[in-house]
Amino acid sequence: MRRLATALALLLIACSAGPAVAERLVVSLSNHRVAVTSNFVGEELVLFGTIEPDPAGQLRPPYDLVVTVTGPQQTMRTRRKQRMLGIWVNVDSREFVSVPSYLAVLSNRPVAEIADQETLRKLQIGLNYFLLPQRIGPDLADTVTDDPFRRAFVRLQRQQGLYRESSTAVTFLTPTVFRSAIAMPAAVPTGTYAIEVELFSQGKLVARTNSALEVIKAGFEQYVADAARDYGLLYGMATALMALLIGWFASVVFRRD
Amino acid sequence: MQIYLPIADLPVNVFLVLGMGLAVGYISGMFGIGGGFLMTPLLIFIGISPAVAVATVSSHIAASSFTGAISYWRRRALDIALAMMLLSAGIVGTATGVWLFTELRALDQLDLMIGLSYVTLLTIVGGMMIYESVQAVLRTRRGGPGTLRRPGSHTWIHGLPFKLRFKRSKIYVSAIPVWAIGFLIGFVGAIMGIGGGFLLVPMLIYFLRVPTATVIGTSMVLTLITMASATVMHAATNHLVDAVLALILMVGGVIGAQFGARTGQKMRGERLRLLLGLLVFAVGLRFAYELVVRPEDLYSLRYVGSG
Chain A residues whose CB is inside 8 A of the B300 CB are: 78-79, 81, 90, 156
How far apart CA B120 and CA B169 sit, in angstroms, is: 30
* Domain residue ranges of chain B, discontinuous segments joined by +: 2-292
Query: Could you tell me what percent of chain B has a pLDDT over 70?
Result: 91
Q: Calculate mean pLDDT across residues A69-92.
A: 87
Which residue in the set A75, A240, A242 is minimally distant from B247, CB to CB? A242
Predicted local distance difference test score (pLDDT) of residue B79: 84
Question: Higher model confidence: residue A5 or residue A25?
Answer: A25
> Does pLDDT of A96 surpass 60?
yes
Query: pLDDT at position A186, please?
Result: 83
Domain range spanning residue A191?
21-217
- Average pLDDT of the segment spanning B5-26: 88
Residues of B whose CB is below 8 A from A189: 9
Spatial separation of the C-alpha atoms in residues A190 and A35, rounded to whole Å: 9
Residues B32/B210, Cβ–Cβ less than 8 Å: no
Residue A11 lies in a domain: no
Q: Do B6 and A186 touch (CB under 8 A)?
A: no
Amino acid at B239: H
* Closest alpha carbon within chain B to A229: B239
What pLDDT does A196 receive? 93
Inform me whether the C-beta atom of residue B67 falls under 8 Å from chain A C-beta atoms.
yes
Burial-class residue A90 by CB neighbours within 10 Å (0-12, 13-18, 19+).
Answer: buried
- The answer to whether the Cβ–Cβ distance between A37 and B4 falls below 8 Å is yes
Distance from the B160 Cα atom to the nearest Cα atom in chain A, whole angstroms: 38
**B-chain residues within 8 Å CB-CB of A232?**
235-237, 239
| Mean pLDDT of the A216-229 span | 83
CA distances from B67 to A248, B34, B133, B199, B251 (A): 6, 11, 27, 20, 11
Is there a domain that residue A15 lies in?
no
DSSP chain B: -EEEETTTTEEEEHHHHHHHHHHHHHHHHHHT---HHHHHHHHHHTT--HHHHHHHHHHHHHHHHHHHHHHHHHTT---HHHHHHHHHHHHHHHHHHHHHHHHHHHTT-HHHHHHHHHHHHHHHHHHHHHHHHHHHHHHHHTTS-SS--GGG---GGGG-SSEEEETTTTEEEEHHHHHHHHHHHHHHHHHHTS--HHHHHHHHHHTS---HHHHHHHHHHHHHHHHHHHHHHHHHHT----HHHHHHHHHHHHHHHHHHHHHHHHS-HHHHHHHHHHHHHHHHHHHHHHHHSPPS-SEEEEEEEE-
Of B302 and B307, more confident? B302
Are both A185 and A255 inside the same structural domain?
Answer: no
- pLDDT-based confidence at A16, cuts 50/70/90? very low
Does the distance separating the beta carbons of B254 and A246 come in below 8 Å?
yes
Query: Are β-strands A163-166 and A103-107 bridged in parallel, bridged antiparallel, or unpaired?
Result: parallel
Task: Give A135 to chain B, closest Cα distance, Å.
Answer: 13
Q: Do B304 and A74 touch (CB under 8 A)?
A: yes
* Nearest-angstrom CA–CA distance, B94 and B121: 17
C-alpha triplet A84, A88, A92: angle, nearest 5°: 80
Statement: residue A12 has pLDDT above 60: no
- With a cut of 50, say whether residue B152 has pLDDT above it: no
Query: What pLDDT, on the 0 to 100 scale, is given for residue B154?
Result: 58
How much is the pLDDT for A9?
52
Which pLDDT belongs to residue B222? 86
Inter-chain Cβ pairs, chain A and chain B, closer than 8 A: 192
How much of chain B exceeds pLDDT 90, in percent?
6
Residue B159 confidence (pLDDT): 67
Q: Minimal Cα distance from B110: which residue of A?
A: A90
Average pLDDT value for chain B = 81
- Rounded to a whole number, what is the distance in Å from the CA of A24 to chain B's nearest CA? 33
Return the residue in A97, A239, A248, A252 with the most chain B beta carbons within 10 A, the one to mutate for interface testing.
A239
CATH number at A42 reads: 2.60.40.3880
Contact B241 A228 (CB under 8 A): yes
- Whether residue A98 has pLDDT greater than 60: yes
Task: Mark yes or no for CB contact B6/A240 under 8 Å.
Answer: no
CB contact under 8 A, A232 and B251: no
Interface of B with A in 37-66 (CB under 8 A): 59-60, 62-66
Does residue A6 register a pLDDT over 80? no
Q: Which pLDDT score is estimated for A143?
A: 72
- All residues of chain B having their beta carbon less than 8 Å from the beta carbon of residue A237 are 232, 235
> Residues B77, B79, B85, CA angle at the centre, nearest 5°?
160
Say yes or no to pLDDT of A13 above 90: no
pLDDT, position B273: 80
- Does the pTM exceed 0.90? no
Please give the tally of structural domains in chain A: 2
A257 and A149 in one domain? no
Q: Are residues A189 and A239 in the same domain?
A: no
Chain B residues 210-239 with CB within 8 Å of chain A: 228-229, 231-237, 239
Confidence of residue A3 (pLDDT cuts 50, 70, 90): low
> How many Cα atoms within 13 Å fall on the side-chain side of residue A29?
21
Q: CA of A77: which chain B residue's CA is closest? A: B302
Highest-pLDDT range among A66-75, B74-83, B87-96, B153-162:
A66-75
- A241 and A192 in a common domain: no
Residue A9 covered by a domain: no
Residues A85 and A211 in one domain: yes
Give the pLDDT of residue A19: 44
Query: Does the pLDDT of residue B171 top 70, yes or no?
Result: yes
Kindly state the average pLDDT of the residues A9-34: 68
| CB-closest option in B237, B255, B301 to A156 | B301
Q: Are residues A82 and A134 in the same domain?
A: yes
- Tell me what pLDDT residue A21 has: 59
Q: Is the pLDDT of residue A8 over 60?
A: no
The reported pLDDT for the residue numbered A38 is 78
pLDDT band, very low/low/confident/very high, at B267 (cuts 50, 70, 90): confident
Q: B103: exposed, middle or buried (C-beta count within 10 Å: 0-12, 13-18, 19+)?
A: exposed
- Position A171 scores a pLDDT of 92
Write phi, then psi, for A144 (nearest 5 degrees).
-65, 155
Split at pLDDT 50, 70, 90, the class of A129 is: confident
**Chain B contacts of A242, Cβ < 8 Å?**
59, 63, 243, 246-247, 250
Tell me: do A192 and A178 sit in the same domain. yes
Q: How many CA atoms lie within 13 A of A109 on its CB side?
A: 11
Mention every residue, 6+ apart, whose C-beta is less than 8 A from residue B103.
none
CA B56-B62-B64 angle, to 5 degrees, is: 110
How does the average pLDDT of chain A come out, rounded? 84
Task: Decide which of A156 and B214 is more confident.
Answer: A156
Distance CA A89, CA A73 (A): 28
Q: Is A75–B305 a contact, with Cβ atoms under 8 angstroms apart?
A: yes
- Together in a domain, A229 and A212: no
Mean of the pLDDT values across residues B139-161?
62
Same domain, A195 and A230: no
CB contact under 8 A, B304 and A95: yes
Residue A163 forms part of a structural domain: yes
What pLDDT is attached to residue B149? Answer: 47
Evaluate if residue A101 carries a pLDDT over 70. Answer: yes
Peptide bond into A62 cis (omega under 30): yes
Q: What is the pLDDT of residue B122?
A: 86
Residue with the larger pLDDT of the pair B294 and A158: A158
Does position A14 have pLDDT exceeding 80, yes or no?
no
- Co-location of A144 and A223 in the same domain: no
- pLDDT bracket for residue A108 (50, 70, 90): very high
Residue A51, strand partner residues:
A25
Residues A94, A134 within the same domain = yes
DSSP symbols for A161-229: TSEEEESSSEEEEETTEEEEEEEE-TTPPPEEEEEEEEEEETTEEEEEEEEEEEEEE-HHHHHHHHHHH
Strand order, beta sheet including A43-52: A24-29, A43-52, A177-184, A170-174
Under 8 Å between Cβ of B6 and A217: yes
The arithmetic mean of pLDDT across residues B216-241, rounded, is 83
Domain match, A115 and A153 both:
yes
Checking ipTM against 0.90, whether it exceeds it is no
A87 chain-B contacts, CB cut-off 8 A = 112, 291-292
Give a yes or no: residue A255 inside a domain.
yes
Return d(Cα A152, Cα B4) in angstroms, integer.
28
**Residue B14 reports pLDDT greater than 80:** yes
